[in-house]
Amino acid sequence: MATYDFLFDGLGLREWCDAGRTGDGPLSMADLLAKGGAGRETPWWDLPFPSLDALNEACGRIAQSRDATKGVEEGFLAIKDALRFVLDPLTQPLSWILEFALLVFEAAPWWVMFPLLMAVVYLATKSVRLIVFVTACLAFLAFIDHYGFAMQTLAIIFVCAFLCVLFGVPIGIAMSRSDRMQRMTIPVLDMLQTLPPFVYLIPLIFLFSVTEPKLYGIAIILYAIVPVIRLTDLGIRLVDRDVIEAADSFGVTDRQKLFGVQIPLALPNIMAGVNQTIMMSLAMVVIASLVSAPGLGVLVLRGIRNLELGVGLVSGLGIVLLAIILDRVTKAALDRVNAAQKI
């Protein structure tokens, strides 16, 4: 006798339940255990929550919990092919870009890469101190023969962060212009931000081949795009209403208002979003080494798998150095924007 028999008896559903009892489904561990102690009365303080499994005991028509999990899996597998048919060609360029970037970063000799990166840092920050710092960090990584791995990681971050900005800023602008769009987008962003990074990888592995770079590319972009969208939206919404009104009073077009007033005035916030996006790309690129993303993450993974303490710690240090470099450079760029806009 199951605990919730009374419920179905009381509702007069007994016949309906028994008609559906097939009894030939696979036994779960709980079933097996229950068989041993069958017939015993359940004491009242052990009353189980009316979960699917508890109800199933009383009425065979109610599905078991494992069926629910199975349903999700089957549902996903059912739409997988269709989804893949659409997404595969759409995302193919991402694979090409990533492969190309990795190729370039690996192929370029260090004596080309160093001055190039120094130039980028100078353009972004106009700070000699930062150039010295960045060069010293990279030189250290190269000195301990982690240069190649670091460049792979950097290549992936550059591509993914760039794409995040490319898609994130327009999405943020659209959100800022329509409250309905904002209401629809925020739950999605909340979900992307709270899903544990590993969970992104599960459906992606089923959708795409593990050997393709776009697999980790998509995971990184989904994870890292959130802050740039949010802060673009916020930044544009925070633009001084008086300035917007002034612009309107001079007869600006929507386009002039967006590019001449809203985006420039939202730039400090957008830049803060870009900084966050880059930092989150870096976090995800390490996890993405689980699905064949190259770079320093691979070494960290090796350190964990093979318990190679030194390898793991040194590559971890490399990641920290990269993080500091990226953070300092983007923050310095942000400060420059802020300084120009002080009100």
Partner 1 sequence: MTDKIKIAIRSLYKIFGDDPEGALEHVRAGVGKTELLERHGHVLGLQDIDVDMREGDITVIMGLSGSGKSTLIRHLNRLIEPTAGQVEVDGEDVLAYGEERLRSLRREAMSMVFQKFALLPHRTVAENAGTTLQVRGVRQRDYLAEARKWLERVGLTGYENHYPHQLSGGMQQRVGIARALTSNSPIMLMDEAFSALDPLIRTDMQDLLLELQKELHKTIVFITHDLDEALKLADRLVILKDGYIVQQDEPQHILLNPNDPYIEDFVSDINRARVLRVRSIMTPLGGGAPPAEAQGEVDFNDTLESMITRSGGDTSHSYVVVQEGAPVGVLEMTNLVKALVPRAASEAGARKY
Write the DSSP symbol of residue 26: P
Rounded to whole angstroms, how far apart are CA atoms 62 and 21? 9
Q: Which residues of this protein are in contact with partner 1, per CB under 8 A?
A: 240, 242-243, 245-253, 256, 260-261, 264-265, 267, 340-343
- Residue pair 94/77 in contact (Cβ under 8 Å)? The answer is no
Q: Phi first, then psi: give them for residue 194, nearest 5 degrees.
A: -100, -20
Q: Which is nearer to partner 1, 268 or 318 (CB)?
A: 268
Q: Which is nearer to partner 1, 243 or 323 (CB)?
A: 243
Q: Which is nearer to partner 1, 108 or 246 (CB)?
A: 246
> With b meaning 16 or more CB within 10 Å and e meaning fewer, what string describes 78-88?
eeeeeeeeeee
Least gap, CB of 254 to partner 1 (angstroms): 10
Rounded to whole angstroms, how far apart are CA atoms 289 and 279? 16
Return the residue matching tokens 């971890």: 316
Q: Which is nearer to partner 1, 323 or 337 (CB)?
A: 337
Residue 216: closest CA among 294, 151, 107: 294
Least gap, CB of 80 to partner 1 (angstroms): 48
Q: Retrieve residue 86's tokens.
A: 């659409």
What is the SS3 assignment for 246? helix
Q: Which is nearer to partner 1, 41 or 254 (CB)?
A: 254
How crowded is residue 185: how many other Cβ atoms within 10 Å of its Cβ? Answer: 18
Q: Which is nearer to partner 1, 209 or 341 (CB)?
A: 341
Least gap, CB of 340 to partner 1 (angstroms): 6
What is the SS3 assignment for 45? helix
Least gap, CB of 259 to partner 1 (angstroms): 12
Rounded to whole angstroms, how far apart are CA atoms 155 and 163? 12
